[in-house]
Structure 1
Amino acid sequence: MDNLQKRKAVLWILWVLIVPPGLYLIYQYYPPPAISPVDAAAYLAFFILACLLPMNINGVPTYLVQWLTVAVFLKFGLFAEVILSQITMLIVILRLRTSESLTIRIPFNSMMFFSISTLAGMTFLLAGGEIGSLDLLHILAYGLLFQIVSVVSNQMILYFYVRSLGEHKDFFSTDTIWDFSITLLVFPLAIALYISETYIGLTALLLLGIPFFTMTAIMRMYNNSEKVNSDLKKAGEIGHQLAARLSSDEVLDQFVIQVSDLFQADYAYVIDYRDGKLLMLRMFENNEFQPLNVEPVKYNQGIAGNAIVNNNSYIYDSKAQWKGIASGYMPADTESLMATPISRNNRIEGVLVLGSKSKHAFVHHQLQILDILSTYFAVSLEKAGLIQKAIAKSERCGLTKLYNYRYLDEALEKSMAKVKNGELRNLSVVMMDIDRFKGINDKYGHQSGNEILVALANLLTEIIGKEGTIARYGGEEFVVLLPNYSKELALLFAENIRKEIEKREFMIQSDLDADRSTIPIKITMSIGVSSAPDDSDDGMAMIRNADRALYIGAKQAGRNKVAAYTK
């Protein structure tokens, strides 16, 4: 049995031992007065209405039922207050969105509400408080005592429970201040309800309830408006952050992280729509990126497929609403889902799917925010793609697609800095030049020469792989940077390159032949090697040294050779 199952079992055992026997004892020793069904129904209706209209205070839904709880206790006694508090507890935990299981929340909260009611009620009675009293000073003094004990015991139970789980919680916090403030705020209303109902009956519930719930509704609308404005502001900030990213991968990663944080999603997936299939681009689960090991599915399948086919956004409040639609991958504990198409230039490019372990985790206005963010994302992704193309164009040789000399110079300087600070033990530069390349151009034409350059570039890329960085330095010259290669090791590597090129045939079409026939050509290369820190601690000096070794040590020695720079 794991810790969660043990915790669940302990809570339910404690609940059975505490709540039912406790209710029985309270009923026996403090029985409630006769309550008419109409009174019971009216108070119950107001309790339920108060639970359905929480106010958002300090970013947390707050259920202002204390004014009803105090009034019920003062009029009907402890048993009635305990029963209504238990009903309130059930409504509240069913409405609150949390990842914790109901099988844990129900017994714990039931015991907590029962304990709070019992502690506050017994303190009231033992201190001399009387149920049904009409003495104003008595009502104020003992009613306030009941409220204060309720708030303090609530804070103490929560504090020790959280600490028992090994988590940190401050006893005096912002939440504590809000609890005491709300207690003082609603206490006069509770006293007014109790006294008014005593003299004029249930009409008092309407006289006090209508303005209270009207005020609550107005505050909820105001808070919802504030929430929308806050989310819009955050969406704008996310849009600016996306626009600042220069690569597609950075845009994708930033988008997923920020959207997950904004909507407090446990799961986030960016799905690409391409060639009639849905391909997973990013999987972000529990604040971590996951490997992309999900097979592609047809474009019209599952939650994402539904969003694409109908070109519409969707919110699903629980698994029961989407389990018949879903196909493919989805974590087993997912409850709420929100999906929206990602469009660019009026064409759907993909889908964003957000998931939560809680039911009712997403609200309607978030779809509009998500649509705005998806537009920011699509535009930023397109911009990053254009930037990457521009960078590639400036860093790559247009003919061979290898890095050019500009990129090589920067890479060389960065590598030399690593040698100087100890990140790299060695750095070798291998410079290669095709032997008698001018003769090939003269005999077969420059286009045929270009074909050889492209084929050679592909061969060098294949040979060198991830061992180093290769660039076309100019004309028929190529340079390779080999990090952590000593001069001896670089010479062996260069010799292997030379041998591989020497035995390879390159197929070209002769531009100067009338029939443009395809013919095999063999070439050789002269190679020079220079290493740091042995030969120099300057990047440009390394290039000059390798070039000197190439021409003096290899070309002048008969070509098709590898030579090392010597001082």
Structure 2
Amino acid sequence: MKDPVHILVVDDEPDIRELLTVFLERMGYAVDVASSGRQAIESIGRRVYDVIITDLDLGDLSGMEVLAHLRRQQATSEVIMISGYGTVEHVSEAFSLGVSAYIQKPITFAEVDARMKEALAKRRFAASVDQVLKSASGADAELAKHLEQVFQLYDLGRRLIATLDYQPVIDTVLSSLVSIFQCECACIFLVENGRADLHVYSALPMSEADLGAVRADALAFWQKLRREEIAEAQVKTFHKSRPSGDPPSGPVAQTMRVPLSAQEKVIGVLSVCNPALTAHTLEYLPYIVGDLAALALDNASQHRHTRMLALTDGLTGLLNHRAFLDRLHQEFDRSRRYNSILSLIMLDIDDFKAVNDTYGHLQGDIVLEGVARILRNSSRESDVLGRYGGEEFVALLPETNSSQALLKAERIRKEIASHPFQLNHSAVEVTVSLGVATWPNPDMQVPEDLIKQADLALYKSKSFGKNRASLAE
């Protein structure tokens, strides 16, 4: 009789655990459950699991911490991560740690079933690869090494196909390079629209001097390829390293460089620092990795551009109405789950119709762009900004109480009122009215109630003479 597939479900929400358990058991899997990160780690210590399905936030520990522990204990287990509020950074970190799939809540059984089949197919393939390598190693060490590199390339390609998000693609390529070449660090130097970014991933922590050496080397190779001068100070550097208590690595003594080309255009440089090259290393291996990376990055870039067009307002660059509502629902659910504060500012340009009638709609667009710019410059990275419609804007402020939100609204109002807009060679003063609402509030049961209360406060500002900010009652 064939051994059952063992699954570990980790989630701090009882309903999610029960639903997944019932569904997976009906599919014929043997299921264990854990309600916290520590329980999950205890379960991992007792049994080897084929697949682990874990939430991102487990209360006591994060799903990332459980995943990092798992990789130290059971490197072959496949992991499916689920989350209700995952960001690109979360997705990126998850894929860099070898997650098979990332599912956004609310989950569906069809998606869980599909991701389970993919994870088990990968596990079966990995077992077959291991068997082939063991058989080959006894007969021919060189053949075994070449087969291992081919399978590593296959795994890299499979992981790159699994995501179209830009940062996870970069992290997947770099972590795979460090593994394939057993090197101290790997980096990708990218230039897009005049912006230069250097992404570095190292097996051990790196000193600032070594990061500077890697940056200078990548920049010099790029300039040799493109004859394009870029000052080193203009290169934005992002560095990650494997979790380790070890000291920084030694100086970078040797660098292998490969140009990244997509659609007959060089888009960057891929570098491997101090690679462990041997006589068994396939001579074309770095170039295959470079081609895979360039293709994946180009696809991710196009996907990012298309997604941006779908989610943002074309004039102001802020989230459009639909995208803002999606984020509002996510933030409202998170605030309700963790009992945290969430405020919303609704802003309306006073007498905007008169601006359009007097100066024309093109000049009105200048006002809309200017108000959006001031709103953006007045906000934190965690704030969610959108153009709600016409001359109305919204700002969602996590972890911000009503007093703080009202102060912020007042600062925005003053900044706009003191900023004359140049319309048809005339300096035109523009004012705005704002309404502020904050959750938790007994009158708010759904996310739309937050908008409704902010809108009522905005109406109060209009009623009292405009050019003011009011708080919902």
Q: Which residue of 1 aligns with 2:324?
A: 408
Looking at structure 1, the residues matched to 192 and 327 of structure 2 have their Cα atoms a distance apart, in angstroms, of: 35
The structure whose residues are more often helix, as a share, is: 1
CA shift in 2, pair 1:258/1:287, >3 Å: farther
CA deviation map 1:232-288 (0-9, x unaligned): 1220220121122222222111101011112211222323478999x6712222255
The structure whose residues are more often strand, as a share, is: 2
CA shift in 2, pair 1:527/1:225, >3 Å: same
Match of 1:261, SS state, is helix
Letter in 1 for 2:450: M
Looking at structure 2, the residues matched to 340 and 454 of structure 1 have their Cα atoms a distance apart, in angstroms, of: 41
Identity of aligned residues (%): 27
Q: 1:468 aligns with which of 383, 389, 403?
A: 383
- 8 Å CA contact 1:283–1:290 kept in 2: the answer is no
CA shift in 2, pair 1:537/1:230, >3 Å: same
Q: Which residue of 1 aligns with 2:345?
A: 430
CA shift in 2, pair 1:298/1:443, >3 Å: same
TM-score scaled by structure 2? 0.60
Matches within 5 A, 1:481-500: 481-500=396-415
Q: Which residue of 2 aligns with 1:550?
A: 458
Looking at structure 2, the residues matched to 428 and 472 of structure 1 have their Cα atoms a distance apart, in angstroms, of: 17
Looking at structure 2, the residues matched to 420 and 525 of structure 1 have their Cα atoms a distance apart, in angstroms, of: 31
Looking at structure 2, the residues matched to 435 and 219 of structure 1 have their Cα atoms a distance apart, in angstroms, of: 76
Letter in 1 for 2:447: G
- 8 Å CA contact 2:410–2:469 kept in 1: the answer is yes
Larger radius of gyration: 1
Q: Which residue of 2 aligns with 1:454?
A: 369
Matches within 5 A, 1:491-510: 491-509=406-424
Distance apart, 1:408 and its partner CA: 1.2
Match of 2:345, SS state, is strand
Distance apart, 1:441 and its partner CA: 0.8
Q: 1:238 aligns with which of 129, 145, 156?
A: 156
Q: Which residue of 1 aligns with 2:201?
A: 284
Q: 2:335 aligns with which of 411, 419, 427?
A: 419
Identify unmatched segments of 5+ residues in structure 2.
1-135, 228-247
Looking at structure 2, the residues matched to 333 and 254 of structure 1 have their Cα atoms a distance apart, in angstroms, of: 24
CA shift in 2, pair 1:290/1:284, >3 Å: farther
TM-score scaled by structure 1? 0.50
Q: Which residue of 2 aligns with 1:373?
A: 289
Letter in 2 for 1:545: Q
Asked if residue 258 in structure 1 is aligned to residue 173 in structure 2, the reply is: no
Matched positions, count: 315
Q: 1:363 aligns with which of 271, 279, 282?
A: 279
Asked if residue 520 in structure 1 is aligned to residue 436 in structure 2, the reply is: no
CA deviation map 1:148-204 (0-9, x unaligned): xxxxxxxxxxxxxxxxxxxxxxxxxxxxxxxxxxxxxxxxxxxxxxxxxxxxxxxxx
- 8 Å CA contact 1:248–1:384 kept in 2: the answer is yes
Distance apart, 1:351 and its partner CA: 3.1
- 8 Å CA contact 1:434–1:524 kept in 2: the answer is yes
Distance apart, 1:354 and its partner CA: 2.2
Distance apart, 1:344 and its partner CA: 2.3
CA deviation map 1:540-561 (0-9, x unaligned): 111111112212x112222222
CA shift in 2, pair 1:224/1:380, >3 Å: same
Deviates more, 1:434-443 or 1:264-273: 264-273
CA RMSD of aligned residues (A): 3.3
Looking at structure 2, the residues matched to 471 and 389 of structure 1 have their Cα atoms a distance apart, in angstroms, of: 18
Q: Which residue of 2 aligns with 1:208?
A: none
- 8 Å CA contact 1:405–1:474 kept in 2: the answer is yes
Letter in 2 for 1:550: L
Distance apart, 1:454 and its partner CA: 0.6
- 8 Å CA contact 1:299–1:308 kept in 2: the answer is no
Identify unmatched segments of 5+ residues in structure 1.
1-217, 310-329, 510-517
Q: Which residue of 2 aligns with 1:72?
A: none
Looking at structure 1, the residues matched to 323 and 194 of structure 2 have their Cα atoms a distance apart, in angstroms, of: 38
Match of 1:239, SS state, is helix
Looking at structure 1, the residues matched to 223 and 358 of structure 2 have their Cα atoms a distance apart, in angstroms, of: 59
